[in-house]
Amino acid sequence: MSGRILFSIGEALIDMIPSRVGCSFDEVPAFSPRVGGAPANVCAAVARLGGHSALLSQLGDDPFGHKIARVLAGCGVELSHLEFTGKASTALAFVSTAPDGTHTFNLCRKPSADLLYAPEQIDPGWFSQAFALHFCSASLVDSPMRYAHLTAITAAREAGAILSFAPNLRFSFWSDRASLRQTVWQFIPLTHILKLSDEELSFLTGTEDIEAALPLLFTGDVQLVLYTCGSKGARAYTRTASARARSPKVAAVDTTGAGDGFIGSFLWQLQRDGVTAAELPKLSRSRLTEYLAFSNHFCAISVQQPGGIESYPTLAQLEHPEADFSRI
């Protein structure tokens, strides 16, 4: 296992999970708090597997902020760069779940503590030990946090780290969809790894055909495109190789955080094997297939349990799926 660190920058928040699914927000009788936020989830997935991850973010100095820190620390995520502020509260995302399992989010984040995380709070020296920097789009709204991303991306690139971008589109976090699409396309050329779901592909490119979209997606520094299709499996593309792997057939209970678990477990494998940014274009079809299969297995175990972070398996639990999940 590489001793280098997977940094993830962006939001850590509280997902307010509904006690009843298949109904509108106003019909939900109660909500229960769970730790979430895509960058935090990715850190947790890496740490649960035994990797070294650190979150770059800011929380409110409030009970929810301290709950997030406690849960992430329990997973093994390094929190030495996590900050707290009294100027804003920790973000809350109220979730509504449709009968087909899809989620709608109603956000309390105007602004939240994470959006006040500023460029001057980042020390470029942190990235001297970076394996990778991962980021998403929910924190790229016009705020100090957006510019903190640019500072971190520049520092990570100069340090030779892998840059990983999973847009993880959250339409309710943005004032309009055109701004979201434009912003994502501004950041895609800055990354080495781009992870998209089938829904995101259609929104960003106007096509549902991943292979037709590849000439658009391989722009700037992009060297590896990961494409997930839920129960249909996942695909990986470099500029010279491609691979695919089927998803195990399971009875999904909760898909919360599944996409974050996929990219987190994929990055963990790259970290384990000491893969560098320069080596990404050289990944073979067989190796990509192996990585995809592992991450599909990780997600298949995860979605059979309620919650996001709470459902992420350890390496031992992947090897022994009958293991007890009551751990966080």
Average pLDDT (109-121) is 94
**Phi, psi (deg, nearest 5) at residue 323:** -65, 155
Report the alpha-carbon distance of residue 44 to residue 36 in Å, rounded.
10
**Residue extents of the structural domains in the chain:** 5-11+36-88+118-318
pLDDT at 180: 96
Report the alpha-carbon distance of residue 194 to residue 190 in Å, rounded.
10
Tell me the residue ranges of DSSP E strands in 126-185.
130-135, 162-165
What predicted TM-score, i.e. pTM, was given to this entire model?
A: 0.94
Peptide bond into 63 cis (omega under 30): no
DSSP 8-state symbol, 1: -
**266 within 8 A of 243, measured Cβ to Cβ:** no
pLDDT tens readout for residues 257-300: 889 999 999 999 999 999 999 999 999 999 999 999 999 999 99
pLDDT tens readout for residues 126-146: 999 999 999 999 999 999 999
Task: Kindly tell me the sign of the dihedral angle through the C-alpha atoms of 254, 259, 262, 265.
Answer: negative
Pairing between β-strand 103-108 and β-strand 193-197 as defined by DSSP bridges:
unpaired
pLDDT at 24: 75
**55 within 8 A of 134, measured Cβ to Cβ:** no
Residue with the bigger pLDDT between 281 and 173: it is 281
Average pLDDT (201-224) is 97
Report the alpha-carbon distance of residue 35 to residue 322 in Å, rounded.
24
- For the record, the structure tokens of 260 come out as 């974050």
pLDDT tier for residue 326 given thresholds of 50, 70 and 90: very low
pLDDT tier for residue 325 given thresholds of 50, 70 and 90: very low
Q: Which CATH number fits domain 5-11+36-88+118-318: 2.30.29.30, 3.40.1190.20, 1.10.10.10, 3.40.50.300?
A: 3.40.1190.20
DSSP 8-state symbol, 27: G
The kind and range of the H/E element at 6 are strand 5-9
Q: Which residue pairs, CB below 8 angstroms and at least 24 apart, start in 109-113?
A: 109/13, 109/173, 111/143, 112/11, 112/13, 112/60, 112/88, 113/58, 113/59, 113/60, 113/65, 113/84, 113/85, 113/87, 113/88, 113/89
- For the record, the structure tokens of 231 come out as 């129960």
pLDDT tens readout for residues 73-107: 999 999 999 999 999 999 998 877 777 666 677 88
Burial (CB count <10 Å: 0-12, 13-18, 19+), residue 320:
exposed
